[in-house]
Every structure is written in C-alpha cells, then in structure tokens.
Amino acid sequence: MQVEGEEEVSKRWHGRTWGTLGDSITAAGGYQPHVQKAAGFRSVTNYGVGGCPMTAGGETDYGATVNVGERIDSSLDCVTIYAGVNDFRLNKPIGVQEKRDRTTFLGAYATLVEHIMERNPQAVINVWTPLQRDKDGYDIHYVNAAGHRLIDYAEAVKHIGEAYSLPVLDLYAISGFTKETLPQYTTDGLHPNEAGHLRIAELAAEFLIRL
C-alpha cells in the first residue's frame, strides 16, 4: 500500500503503540497490519470483540466496547474507537451524552472517552463512524426498534468527536462502502474482505498520519 508522505508518517508514529477498540470488523485484524506498516507503529493491540456494541447491558455486556475500553493498556500512544454498527443492529438507544448512561450509545461513548482521557491524557484518541451495510435486512434505510437508522449512529460518533475535540474518520461518508460496492468490499454485506480491509487501511493510514 502506497501512502503519500510515508516518510513523514514514520517520524510521527515510529516506535509508538496503537490500540484498536471495536467489534468484529476490528477483531478480524484485517486493516491493522496495513496501517501499522504504513504509519510505522511499533506495536498494535487489538481489543475488538465480535458481535458486541459500544453500549453496555444485555447479553453482549461482556464485550461491550465501553467495558473493554476501560481495561486497555493505559500507556498507549494512540487509541482508535470504531463502533456503532452493532448498536444499530441490537437496537441500542442513542440517548444523550450528558447523562453518561452506559446503556445508551452516546452515554457509553462519553463514559469511555472520559475514562481514557483520565487514565492516559497523552493518548491520541480518534473515533471512526460505522461503515454502511446491507445484511439481514439491516441496511442504511432500515429503522431499528429504537427508532434509529445507521446514519444516526454515525452522526452520534461525529457528535462525540466535536464534543471532546477528537479527530473523526467518517467511514460512513467517505469509505466507498455502499449498497452497490458491498459485494466488492465485503463477504456478506457487512464484514470486509481483503479488499475492504485494505480500503479501510488506506483511509485510516492517511488519517492517522495527519494527527
């Protein structure tokens, strides 16, 4: 993978550590090696848990990103939070940031970001919106039982970025993953294949080197 400005990138992240939080797309470990090579990270720790949302509560509580994220290495130089698609699929309410209610998407997200900031104030935290999807009837037009579409979770991630002045990688908007291209980039309308992981990595590397 060729990344413009790779020499500058290696100076930015060379010898530093990166932790990735998220669901099965992160747990698969497909995009991280490409980003590590392009950006020069010394190590990458993958904290992804398949099938789990950001939001706490219910049968997926064991792997909720808010819970996993509170146990990550507190010395990481860079932390990526990439969640939302399972919150949509599992009908998690978006809620409001101010209440810090871990059973809502925004409440859990705010709780996690503040926890990382408190334990590791030097970490470069960055947040990524979910990709578009079309699997099991859950596409970008579907309204879930909580009354939300997938784009509502993407907008909530962007809200968190603005509220905490964090860099946002808007994969929902710029990844090129759409109903028309999902057969090219995914195995099932949701999970990226090698081409999909490479596409994510190309965007992520360029994004991270500018931080």
Task: Convert the pLDDT of each residue in 153-200 to its tens digit.
Answer: 999 999 999 999 999 999 999 999 999 999 999 999 999 999 999 999
- pLDDT of the residue at 126: 98
Strand boundaries in the chain, DSSP class E: 17-22, 43-46, 78-82, 124-128, 134-135, 138-139, 168-169
pLDDT in tens, 92-122: 999 999 889 999 999 999 999 999 999 999 9
Q: For residues 3-31, give the mean pLDDT.
A: 82
Higher-confidence position of 1 and 119? 119
Answer yes or no: is pLDDT of 17 > 90.
Answer: yes
Answer yes or no: is pLDDT of 22 > 90.
Answer: yes
With contact defined as beta carbons under 8 Å apart, do 47 and 21 qualify? Answer: yes
Answer yes or no: is pLDDT of 130 > 80.
Answer: yes
With contact defined as beta carbons under 8 Å apart, do 210 and 43 qualify? Answer: no
pLDDT in tens, 46-73: 999 999 999 999 999 999 999 999 999 9
Answer yes or no: is pLDDT of 8 > 80.
Answer: no
Q: For residues 82-87, give the mean pLDDT.
A: 98
Of 112, 124, 108, the residue nearest 71 (C-alpha): 112
101/153 Cα distance (integer angstroms)? 16
Answer yes or no: is pLDDT of 38 > 60.
Answer: yes
- For the chain, domains (ranges, CATH) are 6-209 (3.40.50.1110)
Angle ∠(159,186,81) on CA atoms, nearest 5: 30
- pLDDT of the residue at 9: 46
